[in-house]
Chain A
Amino acid sequence: MNYGRPELLEELAGQYVLGTLRGAARRRFERYYRSDPAALQAVQRWEDRLLDLTVAVTPIQPSDLVWQRIRSRVRGERRTSGITRLALAASIAALAVAIGWWNLLGPGSSQLVATVADQQHTEVWRIEAPRSRQELRVDATGRFAFDSTRSYELWALPGPGVAPVSLGLMPQGGRGTLRLTEAQRLALAQSKQVAVSLEPPGGSPTGAPTGPILFVADVSA
């Protein structure tokens, strides 16, 4: 859908906030507005406009258990984030698996080149490269609970002392295509590892990973 028309954008933002935009259209709009400043602003303004309709809602005191659970969840999260990013990356690196990465990619093959899996060996993404090697085709397996408010960005890690090179955003559902520029292909060819980091919607604003590294996979099998 073309979200560019201002009236349409306003209406979709209103229906989104109201909750009547549902199903695939809701998810599509959600992905869109998080990366588009005008759409984001339209949504936020509707959230603020409609807030006062909550006057119709009777407050209810939660049971004590709710706070106890929140507190323990928050403390668990803090323990994790207290570990340095590097240590986290290293510990997850050991658990992520990459199967037969580039070297399967002989001339003429369009084979499975990598599988990114979590520590329970649940496949998260399958990455294939076609003959031309000008793009990566990434399938989200649908078995991983993504945080739909964030982006998952793929990086080539050319090695110590060389800055990671972004290869694009990983799909959270279905198939995505990451088109590679010559520079990206080169960086990938020089990399022994790739990584996926958690980023703000639309990807890292700085050109370098800003969020935690979630997955690291070896490029050479």
Chain B
Amino acid sequence: MDCGCIHLRPVYVIDAMPHMQAQTGSESRGLPLMEAAPAERAELLLERCARRDERALRELYQLIAPQLLGVLVRILRRRAVAEEALQDVMVRIWERADQYVAYRGRAMAWMVAIARYRAIDLLRAQQAATPLDDVPPDALADRSATDFFDSTTPERLRKALRDCLGLLSDEQRRCLALAYVDGYSQDQIASAIQSPLGTVKSWMRRGLTSLKRCLDS
């Protein structure tokens, strides 16, 4: 934590599942998203990857791999499986870097989407065999938090998301977080928070709608 770099733990995480501890100390230098304008860096690196610059892939990996692995572990729950998935994801990013040009969104959104879809695909196969761990704590519970560690996002947008999450009911926010962050299906959410499936579905639908309305305004 005192490595001289800025290393903030993501403030919304109140989750301490043992297999998910963040690296600390010198190893965290790889934590990239703190460096100057990482969003632009990610984009430039993707452009170089599209031109088949292997060095750029290495740099991109250092920049984003910890974040992507965090996303993957959270959904897949097993680190070994998540690290396998991370390989697939980075290879896909490399193979499709030329398609990023046409993407209407931030570079990080493109890459996180690739990672999350891969994880969701793998869940399909895995979940039948693996019972879920205990229900994770509410990933987005702490709405009073004032700082985000993810500097890929301009302050303006971060504040927008914070404000918009604040407009959701606790149940709506909880459902969205269990789905997006933890990869829960609607059935699993219903049993995790012990609410009828129909109710969960309507919370999610309304949550999405008001998030969209709020963020787009």
From residue B137, how far is it (CB to closest CB) to chain A in Å?
A: 10
B65 and A47 contact, CB distance less than 8 A: no
Q: Is A183 an interface residue (CB 8 A)?
A: no
From residue B4, how far is it (CB to closest CB) to chain A in Å?
A: 17
Q: A56: which of B12, B27, B105, B116 is its contact (CB, 8 Å)?
A: B12
Interface residues on B, range: 35 or more
Q: Is B192 an interface residue (CB 8 A)?
A: no
Given contacts A22-B185, A61-B28, A61-B30, contact A56 B177 (CB under 8 A): yes
Count of inter-chain pairs, beta carbons less than 8 A: 174
> Which of A26, A45, A49, A77: most chain B Cβ within 10 A?
A49
A61 and B27 contact, CB distance less than 8 A: yes
Given contacts A56-B12, A77-B91, contact A18 B65 (CB under 8 A): no
B22 and A58 contact, CB distance less than 8 A: yes
A52 and B161 contact, CB distance less than 8 A: yes
B-side contacts of A77, CB under 8 Å: 91, 94-95
> What separation, in Å, do the CA atoms of A61 and B204 have in the docked complex?
32
Contact residues of A between 4 and 25, Cβ < 8 Å to B:
10-11, 14-15, 17-20, 22-23
From residue B34, how far is it (CB to closest CB) to chain A in Å?
A: 10
Query: Considering only CB atoms, which chain B residue lies closest to A201 in the complex?
Result: B99
Given contacts A57-B10, A66-B65, A74-B91, contact A48 B208 (CB under 8 A): no
From residue B84, how far is it (CB to closest CB) to chain A in Å?
A: 9
B61 and A20 contact, CB distance less than 8 A: no
Q: A10: which of B66, B90, B183, B212 is its contact (CB, 8 Å)?
A: B212
Given contacts A20-B204, A52-B153, contact A69 B12 (CB under 8 A): no
Q: A49: which of B57, B87, B212 is its contact (CB, 8 Å)?
A: B212
A-side contacts of B149, CB under 8 Å: 55
Query: Considering only CB atoms, which chain B residue lies closest to A18 in the complex?
Result: B179
Interface residues on A, range: 35 or more
From residue B94, how far is it (CB to closest CB) to chain A in Å?
A: 5
B83 and A52 contact, CB distance less than 8 A: no
A47 and B74 contact, CB distance less than 8 A: no
From residue B52, how far is it (CB to closest CB) to chain A in Å?
A: 7
Q: Is B167 an interface residue (CB 8 A)?
A: no
A50 and B10 contact, CB distance less than 8 A: no
> What separation, in Å, do the CA atoms of A14 and B180 have in the docked complex?
10
> What separation, in Å, do the CA atoms of A22 and B124 have in the docked complex?
9
B103 and A44 contact, CB distance less than 8 A: yes
From residue A96, how far is it (CB to closest CB) to chain B in Å?
A: 23
Q: Is A70 an interface residue (CB 8 A)?
A: yes
> What separation, in Å, do the CA atoms of A55 and B139 have in the docked complex?
9
B215 and A49 contact, CB distance less than 8 A: yes
From residue B209, how far is it (CB to closest CB) to chain A in Å?
A: 8
Q: Is A206 an interface residue (CB 8 A)?
A: no
A-side contacts of B10, CB under 8 Å: 55-59
A residues at B contact (CB < 8 Å): 10-11, 14-15, 17-20, 22-23, 26, 41, 44-63, 65-67, 69-71, 73-75, 77-78, 149
Q: List 5 A-B contacts (CB under 8 A).
A: A14-B208, A52-B158, A56-B177, A67-B58, A77-B91
